[in-house]
Structure 1
Amino acid sequence: MIAILGYGLGNVKAFANIYKGLNIPFCVAEDGAALAAADRIILPGVGSFDHAMIRLRSSGLFEPLEEAVIGKGKPVLGVCVGMQMLARSSEEGGEPGLGWIDGEVTRIRFPEDGPRGLLPHMGWSTITSRAEDPLLDGLDDALGFYFLHSYRFVCRDPAEVIATADYATPFHCAVRRGHIQGVQFHPEKSHHNGTRLLKNFAEN
């Protein structure tokens, strides 16, 4: 059973539609009991880092989520701001992150002597897999994924970076620390590649 965390942020319905189409059991978890019954968890997120962390902590799901992921070792996939929430902190605000993967979130900055871009980074970008990982199995890297963000996750341990992307400057777009995984892009908006990634998460 896949639990899509229902704390008021993220494209919950889009994730649900994909899993419904794949005939993979899922639920929208709005209480601790639903998280306790799940095998795997998706942590979606949109908007600002502080707003997402405050919503999570006020939802009544913060402690059950930590118990499920850290206490019970259930796999979790953070998506977009949900990936950023896995970090220790963010330049976007002052709230502490979950701290499950060692890293910080910083604003995308463009090199003074290099190509420039507009923020937010919005649209399709290719990715480069840096390691064989079951989450990325069978993906078309050249097809890429849909992104929408102005901040990026800076992972301190290079071994925990499983894919990168480039928007005038390279950035980490997929990370893993054991059963804790995160992607900066939106698989629920990324057609074939996104569906394959969500299927991989459910089955591996």
Structure 2
Amino acid sequence: MRARRIAHATLIAAAAALPLAASAHVGVDGAAHHSAGFMQGFLHPFTGLDHLAAMVGVGLWSALAARGARDLFWAPLGFAAMLLAGALLGLAGARVPAVEPMIAASLLVIGLLVATRLRLPGPVAAAVVGAFAVFHGVAHGYELSGASGAAAAVAGMVLATALLHLAGIAIGWTLRRRSTLLPRVAGGAVALFGVALLTQVV
């Protein structure tokens, strides 16, 4: 009964957050970077709902799908590394097509991975989420290009990403043997958020 109440509360919270999808990345996020610096970069993933959901979701999936402790960090490390690579591309002024649709698609895919607990070999898991992380990184890096303190902001963003991955891993590891419903609800909510974003950017 308690799990059911938590699931209902999670669904209500997700539904309430859907109207915020329009401001999750485009425009609102960019405003956070007018004054670049380590703390601005560090706080950014916590204020952009799309990035927050993706980063926690990667950690959650890693814990839920892992066969053992050694499988936990493939996807988070792949995401963080490719996020950094994408951010450096963006800082250099690179323009990558379909950034916003790919960010939205990443939420859909990560949400489905969480909900299904799909197990993939470590390198494959890292490659899947890493491919999406490039677009998250480019979006950040391009916003920061030309700003003073951009390198420090990217460093802060990567550190925050790692911490959010760890938070997701901790939550997932706690739930993996205690509940099958809550991960499905969480994954479904992230996937729905991705669908809501896709309807706005496609």
**Range into which the TM-score falls when normalised by the shorter chain:** under 0.3
Q: Structure 1 or 2: larger strand share?
A: 1
Q: Which has the higher contact order (CA 8 A, sep 6+)?
A: 2
Q: Structure 1 or 2: larger helix share?
A: 2
